[in-house]
């Protein structure tokens, strides 16, 4: 575990390229449980300066090895400008919609509960990018609440 933590810290975009490249190569060997460390933004290992490189690793290891990280990846949409979000979108495009929907619904519920208009906007962005319609979610009320929340103060 100690080596994994070191390699995650080495993903920092301020490190020389050879260090980040080596860290990426080593982290491609992580198992499902360890992949969560790459996706969990609320830990001391993987801060904003390593998110982009962490997203590259998560995309490269692919599904199903990154499946335990899916709930954590939904948190990345709290701000679509965060590093790694475009890579996470591409990663999620490779996963069956039926697999993603429960995680997206949970994120929708959390965004509404937290009254987080930026996150609501980010989830709607994700739904658009993944071509997931309201009918596929089967939660029109939840979707409509999210749309309303996203328009509250996202651009004011």
Residue-wise pLDDT for 36-78, tens only, equals 999 998 777 888 999 999 999 999 999 999 999 999 999 999 9
Mean pLDDT of the chain: 93
Q: Higher model confidence: residue 139 or residue 32?
A: 32
Q: What is the pTM of this model?
A: 0.92
- In tens, the pLDDT along 75-101 reads 999 999 999 999 999 999 999 999 999
Residues 6+ apart with CB under 8 A from 37: 4, 5, 8, 30, 43, 45, 46
CA 56 → CA 10, 24, 27, 45, 94, distances in Å? Answer: 14, 8, 10, 16, 14
């Amino acid at each position: 575990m100690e080596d994994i933590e070191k390699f995650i810290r080495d993903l920092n975009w301020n490190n020389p390229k050879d260090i980040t490249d080596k860290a990426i190569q080593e982290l491609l060997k992580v198992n499902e449980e360890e992949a969560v460390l790459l996706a969990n933004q609320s830990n001391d290992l993987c801060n904003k300066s390593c998110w982009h490189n962490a997203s590259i690793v998560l995309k490269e290891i692919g599904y199903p090895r990154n499946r335990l990280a899916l709930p954590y990846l939904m948190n990345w949409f709290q701000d679509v400008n965060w590093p790694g979000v475009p890579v996470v979108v591409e990663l999620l495009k490779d996963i069956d919609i039926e697999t993603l929907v429960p995680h997206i619904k949970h994120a929708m519920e959390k965004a509404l509960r937290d009254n987080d208009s930026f996150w609501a906007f980010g989830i709607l962005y994700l739904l658009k990018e993944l071509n997931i319609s309201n009918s596929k979610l089967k939660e029109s009320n939840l979707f409509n609440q999210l749309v309303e929340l996203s328009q509250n103060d996202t651009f004011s």
